[in-house]
Amino acid sequence: MALEALVFDVDGTLAETERDGHRVAFNRAFSKVGLPWFWGAELYDAMLPIAGGKERMHHYANTYQPLTASDPNFAQLVTRTHALKTEFYLERVATGGIPLRPGVAALIKEARERGLRLAIATTTAPENAAALLTSTLGDDAMAWFEVVGAGDIVPHKKPSPDIYQWVLDRLSIGPAQALACEDSAIGLAAATAADIPTIVTPSNHARGHHFDGAAAVMDSLEGTTVDNLIQIHARATAGMDAIH
Ligand code: XBP
Ligand code: MG
């Protein structure tokens, strides 16, 4: 089965957005709405397996702030706080504060030139993904991605395969025609649960994760070419044929 499309995760894979982007924006939003919460780097890393900002806030409150979580207006507060957090995150990205990880831009550009189809499968809000891509790759960058699966468009976030299945449906391809690029254990779990061969470039908060089942694990995409990916994909799909 030939490789037809690359499906990129965003946070952690394209850029190290979490600790210095999302985390900082959450803390600014907490203080703006008067919530006496502060998410330090270690606590934040431990909460990253809960995908989605609103889901992460609910998880944190249920675990550490049960009184706040039991307030009947808490869900509304989460929605309001998360909207502010998105504003702060966008501000940060717009100032060019978050660069792409090494090799990402070169690989995306080569993939376009070689006619590979490109897509996004992320848990973060669509405006966050668009802001990162346009601030780093240029104003027309969103047009490079045929399908953008992001945020609340599917009911269950990673590690559920929903977002990857949604993207495959819209690309009208089977999982073995795609290669996913992820940075974390939950991202890998989501893509492989959708049967997509997956390469992992662990982000700085995912260094200790286990990546069993990955088609390849690499420090970064620096120096990785489309030919490398075609080889990895061919090996992985040959393995899949042998298993199924
Ligand atoms: C990473 C996430 C996101 C961000 C926050 O998603 O888990 O939840 O931390 O984004 P991915 P929102 O690696 O799939 O890109 O606050 O917009 O939900
Ligand atoms: Mg990620």
Distance between CA atoms of 100 and 137, rounded to whole angstroms? 9
Predicted confidence at residue 1, as pLDDT, reads 79
Report d(CA 229, CA 224) in Å as an integer.
8
Q: With a 6 A CB cut-off, is 93 part of the ligand 1 pocket?
A: no
Ligand 1 centroid to Cα of residue 75, in Å, is 18
Residue 21, number of CB atoms within 10 A of its CB = 21
Low-confidence ranges of the chain (pLDDT < 70): 239-244
For the stretch 106-147, pLDDT in tens is: 999 999 999 999 999 999 999 999 999 999 999 999 999 999
pLDDT of 243: 43
pLDDT tens, residue by residue, 152-161: 999 999 999 9
CA–CA–CA angle 161, 164, 167 (5° rounding): 150
Residue showing tokens 């993207």: 167
Ligand 1 center–CA 175 separation, angstroms: 23
Catalytically active residues, by annotation? 9, 11
**How remote is the CA of residue 20 from the centroid of ligand 2, in Å?**
14
pLDDT of residue 244: 40
Q: What is the dihedral of CA 5, 219, 128, 62, to 10 degrees?
A: 110
State residue 97's pLDDT score. 82
Q: How far is CA 209 from CA 21, 200, 206, in A?
A: 21, 11, 5
d(CA 53, CA 10) in angstroms, rounded, equals 14
- Maximum CA extent, the chain: 56
Cβ atoms of 65 and 35 within 8 Å: the answer is no
Cβ atoms < 10 Å from Cβ of 171: 19
**19 CB less than 6 Å from ligand 1?**
no
Ligand 1 pocket member 128 (CB < 6 A): yes
20/97 Cα distance (integer angstroms): 9
Q: How many CB atoms neighbour CB 65 within 10 A?
A: 16
**Of all atoms in ligand 1, which is nearest to the CA of residue 182?**
13
